[in-house]
Structure 1
Amino acid sequence: MTLNSDKIIKEMINYFKKDVKRINHTLKVYSFCNTIGTLEQLNDKELLIVSLSGILHDIGIKEAEKKYNSSAGPYQEKEGPAIAKEIMNKYDIDTYTIERVCYIIGHHHSYKKIDGVDFQILVEADFLVNIYEDEMDQNAINTVRSKYFKTKTGSAILEDMYL
């Protein structure tokens, strides 16, 4: 798992080039994905999906900005999967994993489509980073907690960091 993740991280950094803000955002989300996934005792396959989703979740932003002049969630979801698939296809990653990661990336702002713990963990990890980066107020944080946090680990981290 680590070998693939490290190579995918390098691909993501190369893709975003000098966009340090997005690279740092991605690395923080990836770290929370791994922490939550490990503490929630995911198996190796699930942990790989969570890790790859964390690394590639925002990979569609550049193309969305180019095509639509916007980094809005629906555009990221539309553009991200094809780019992620192209990156993952360079490595020995099985078809199921690639398809699952692409599904998560293609819906990571569509919270009603969360259909598994792997997807749930990515959403929680992304919120843990976005709460800080977007300077959300306490009301917004409480809303996010009640609506979107389901895992014991993600909820505990949210409490420790923000509440």
Structure 2
Amino acid sequence: MERLIQDVLSAMVTYETGSPKRIQHFIKVYTFSKLIGLREGLDPQTQLILETTAAVHDIGIRKSLEVYGSYTGKTQEELGPAEADALLTSIGFPREIIDRVCWIVGHHHTYTDIQGLDYQILVEADFLVNLYEKDEGVEAQRAAYEKIFRTETGRQLCRDHFPAVCQT
């Protein structure tokens, strides 16, 4: 498992050559995803899916920029799965892992009907990083805390990052 994760992280750094902001982003989302998953006690296969998804979750951005000249959450969901599939296949990931990772990549900007702890934790980690990177204000932090964060570890990390979410 650890070798597959090392390979996907290295492949993603290469894939995102020239975009340190995107590299820094996925590394942070990966780190928080791993931490939350481990603290929440995921089984090894779900943890592998989570960590892999965290590494590739925004893989659709580069393709969206090529195809559309810009990107949105929806264009990432549209174009990301095929990019993730190709990258993970080239590394030698099992098909059942690739399928789940690609499904989450294709839905990771959809926050309704979140199915599975792997998907939930990825969304929480991405929010945690985006709230910081985009310098979101207290109201956005509080709204995310109330509407997005469901795991105890994710909620604690959000409170630790943004203490004002707990103040009235």
TM-score by length of 2: 0.95
- What secondary structure sits across from 1:108 in the alignment? coil
Please name the residue that 2:166 is paired with: none
Q: Over aligned residues, Cα RMSD in angstroms?
A: 0.8
* Cα separation, 2, equivalents of 1:151 and 1:34: 13
- Report deviation, 1:92: 3.3
* Cα separation, 2, equivalents of 1:113 and 1:74: 16
- Runs of 4 or more, structure 1, over 2 Å off, are none
> How many residues get paired?
163
- Report deviation, 1:90: 1.8
Please name the residue that 2:44 is paired with: 44
- What secondary structure sits across from 2:124 in the alignment? helix
> Which stretches in structure 1 are left out of the alignment for 5+ residues?
none
* Cα separation, 2, equivalents of 1:3 and 1:154: 26
- What secondary structure sits across from 2:135 in the alignment? coil
> Which stretches in structure 2 are left out of the alignment for 5+ residues?
164-168
* Cα separation, 2, equivalents of 1:68 and 1:145: 32
- Report deviation, 1:95: 1.5
Please name the residue that 1:100 is paired with: 100
Please name the residue that 1:74 is paired with: 74
Q: Which amino acid aligns with 1:75?
A: T
Please name the residue that 2:153 is paired with: 153
Contact conserved, 1:107 with 1:113, CA < 8 A, in 2? Answer: no
Task: Quote the sequence identity (%).
Answer: 39
* Cα separation, 2, equivalents of 1:127 and 1:3: 27
Please name the residue that 1:122 is paired with: 122
* Cα separation, 2, equivalents of 1:67 and 1:113: 29
Contact conserved, 1:37 with 1:121, CA < 8 A, in 2? Answer: yes
Contact conserved, 1:85 with 1:102, CA < 8 A, in 2? Answer: yes
Q: Which amino acid aligns with 2:72?
A: A
Contact conserved, 1:16 with 1:23, CA < 8 A, in 2? Answer: yes
Please name the residue that 2:25 is paired with: 25
Contact conserved, 1:29 with 1:122, CA < 8 A, in 2? Answer: yes
TM-score by length of 1: 0.98
* Cα separation, 2, equivalents of 1:113 and 1:12: 28
Please name the residue that 1:64 is paired with: 64
Please name the residue that 1:110 is paired with: 110
Q: Which amino acid aligns with 1:26?
A: F
